Amino acid sequence: MNDHLSLTFNALADPTRRAMLNQLSRGEANVSELAKPFLKDMSLPAVTKHLKVLEKAGLITKTREAQWRSCKLNSAPLKEATDWMEQYRIFWEESLDRLEVYLKSITNNKKSKGKKNGIKKQRK
């Protein structure tokens, strides 16, 4: 699929590419620098391909300086992806709320008004 959100999520669905973004979050880097941590696991052309995926998703931009390509993080697609996820925030927050309620229910702290013995053996 080639809608933008799909391109972004797809680019993020690989630990090598996420690690590359991570490195770029600490500053620009050229291809050899980005490749270094991965050259035990894969060839340089493989790195080039990963960078292409990131580039097509708009997550990085490359500028050339002599024979070096400097890569720079572009966070706009990450914002877009996060914005999409926001619509689900209410779900995990309500889960956390329920967890909190549960944790309170099993903690016999002050203000545990009434309902003593609120916990019975629950395992079959």
Partner DNA sequence: TTTATATTTAACTTTTTAGTTAATTAACCG
Partner DNA sequence: CGGTTAATTAACTAAAAAGTTAAATATAAA
Contact residues toward a copy of itself (CB under 8 A) are 1, 3, 5-10, 12-15, 18, 21-22, 25, 73, 75-76, 78-79, 81-82, 84-89, 91-92, 95
DSSP letter assigned to residue 27: -
What SS3 state is found at 86?
A: helix
Query: Where would I find the beta strands (DSSP E) of the chain?
Result: 29-30, 60-65, 68-73
Q: Which of 12, 51, 59, 60 binds DNA (CB under 7 A)?
A: 51
Question: Which of a copy of itself, DNA, none does 31 bind, CB closer than 5 to 8 A by kind?
Answer: DNA
**Do 40 and 34 meet the contact criterion of CB atoms below 8 Å apart?**
no
Residue ranges binding DNA (CB under 7 A): 10, 13-14, 16, 30-33, 35, 41-53, 62, 66-69
